[in-house]
Amino acid sequence: MLFKKKKLLGLDVGSVSTKLVEVLNEKTGPLITAADEFRTPEQALNEGEIVDIDSTAAFLSETVRRHKWFGRKTVAAVGGLKVFIRQMKIPSMPQKELFTAVDWEAKKLLPFSGEELVKDFVLLGEDELDGKKVLSVLLAAAPKQMVVSYHKLCRKAGLVLAAVDIIPYALLRCFNFLSGTLESRAAPVGLLDIGAQYTHFVIVKGNRVLFSRAISVGGKNITGLFSELAATNREAAERTGVNEEEKANTGEFIPAFLDVGMRAGLEELVKEIRRSLDYYRVQEPGNLPDRVVISGGASVLPGLPDFFSSEMGIEFLPMEVPPESTAVAWNPRLAVATGLALRGVDLGAGWD
């Protein structure tokens, strides 16, 4: 298998934080051997493209030097609203004709933007539609400049960019690795990564991505509400003489306040997830997930899984890493970078 017995780096440049995870592919299974992150320079990322390569590369080089990662093979991910991911069905045909057919179908599907796009596809398998055999294909397309920016960044920082992946596959690999059991891969599962600017909602089953959507709501929107909350606390402090703002800043929220803030801030997200599930239900009626695993920086908000569960009637759980899978401290912000570093790693039977 690709990259076998090697250490691979996953690089996830987020709008607020850039995460790096190193995975060693051992005979006994993959092991997370290192993880690090730095604050992405302000304005460095614009709609998924790294526009300030110099500043980002300066921080990245420093991290590479510290971990002695120079020359290391790296997998990066592109994400956000400009990455187009869609499942499509095309008539069954020989493999060699597939590329032209997918390209032709892609032209019909892709929104015209005038930008040059990099396209790729994954053959998911053969299905039946109205009694006829069809091929299920997952198409991904991203602006060429976005992909090129990652090449430039890695070259500047002394890393070798081995592949550019998409966030849904990184999340899928991370989930399959961390949640281990084969039973867990047999049923459809939702994966929700709540970053600072974007939330990626993905539905997977086994090694298939069945649905994927980027939503432009994230921690930034919710943090905005925390600021409002702080203002409310400030007013309360003036009235009562108790400094609730200080409490809020140290994370000691009054539960009732937190609840109100969460509800208002996450309303939009709940609406978008519901909308995605409604769309998906029509596309894949037999493959509804009964649980959603959440990751990303904003997923650590206290009470978030319970809030989502009660709002949506599906079980939401935090993504967790079993202690034997990592030699370093792990947190849910690292999910995408972890999945990237797992590219090409044999995750065992059931991973076809």
The count of chain residues that interact with ligand ATP, using the rule CB under 6 A, is: 18
Per CB under 6 A, does 298 bind ligand ATP?
A: yes
Residue 140, strand partner residues: 85, 120
Residue 60 contacts by C-beta under 8 Å, 6 or more apart in sequence? 11, 18, 38, 153, 156, 157, 159
Q: Interaction with ligand ATP in 169-208: which residues (CB under 6 A)?
A: 195-198
48: alpha, beta or left? (left if phi > 0; alpha if psi -120 to 50): left
Q: By C-beta, is 289 or 297 nearer to ligand ATP?
A: 297
Q: Which two tokens stand for residue 220?
A: 């930034």
Q: Which residues bind Mg ion (CB under 5 A)?
A: 14, 195
Give, as one character, the DSSP assignment of residue 149.
H
Maximum distance among all Cα pairs of the chain, rounded to whole angstroms: 76
DSSP-based three-state secondary structure for 295 = strand
| Closest approach of ligand ATP to the CB of residue 225, in Å | 10
Question: Which x/- pattern, by CB under 6 A, does the window 34-73 give for ligand ATP?
Answer: ----------------------------------------
Give, as one character, the DSSP assignment of residue 42.
T
Q: By C-beta, is 12 or 245 nearer to Mg ion?
A: 12
**Nearest-angstrom CA–CA distance, 332 and 317:** 12
Pick the binder of ligand ATP from 9, 146, 301, 342 (CB under 6 A).
301
Per CB under 6 A, does 261 bind ligand ATP?
A: no
Per CB under 6 A, does 16 bind ligand ATP?
A: yes
**Nearest-angstrom CA–CA distance, 106 and 220:** 33
| Closest approach of Mg ion to the CB of residue 311, in Å | 23
| Closest approach of Mg ion to the CB of residue 195, in Å | 3
Pick the binder of ligand ATP from 17, 61, 136, 179 (CB under 6 A).
17
Pick the binder of ligand ATP from 110, 134, 163, 300 (CB under 6 A).
300
Q: By C-beta, is 135 or 171 nearer to ligand ATP?
A: 171
| Closest approach of ligand ATP to the CB of residue 195, in Å | 2
Q: By C-beta, is 25 or 299 nearer to ligand ATP?
A: 299
**Nearest-angstrom CA–CA distance, 192 and 199:** 7
| Closest approach of Mg ion to the CB of residue 296, in Å | 6
| Closest approach of ligand ATP to the CB of residue 293, in Å | 15
Per CB under 6 A, does 258 bind ligand ATP?
A: no
Residue 252 CB-density burial (10 A; 0-12 exposed, 13-18 middle, 19+ buried):
exposed
| Closest approach of ligand ATP to the CB of residue 287, in Å | 26
| Closest approach of ligand ATP to the CB of residue 12, in Å | 6
**Nearest-angstrom CA–CA distance, 267 and 334:** 25
**Nearest-angstrom CA–CA distance, 146 and 148:** 6
DSSP-based three-state secondary structure for 136 = strand
Which partner, Mg ion, ligand ATP, none, binds residue 206 by CB below 5 to 8 Å per kind?
A: none
Which partner, ligand ATP, Mg ion, none, binds residue 202 by CB below 5 to 8 Å per kind?
A: none
**Nearest-angstrom CA–CA distance, 35 and 19:** 7
Q: By C-beta, is 124 or 342 nearer to ligand ATP?
A: 342
**Nearest-angstrom CA–CA distance, 174 and 135:** 26
CA distances (Å), origin 183, targets 17, 151, 282, 302, 352: 33, 38, 25, 28, 14
| Residues in touch with ligand ATP (CB under 6 A) | 14-17, 195-198, 218-220, 223, 296-298, 300-301, 333
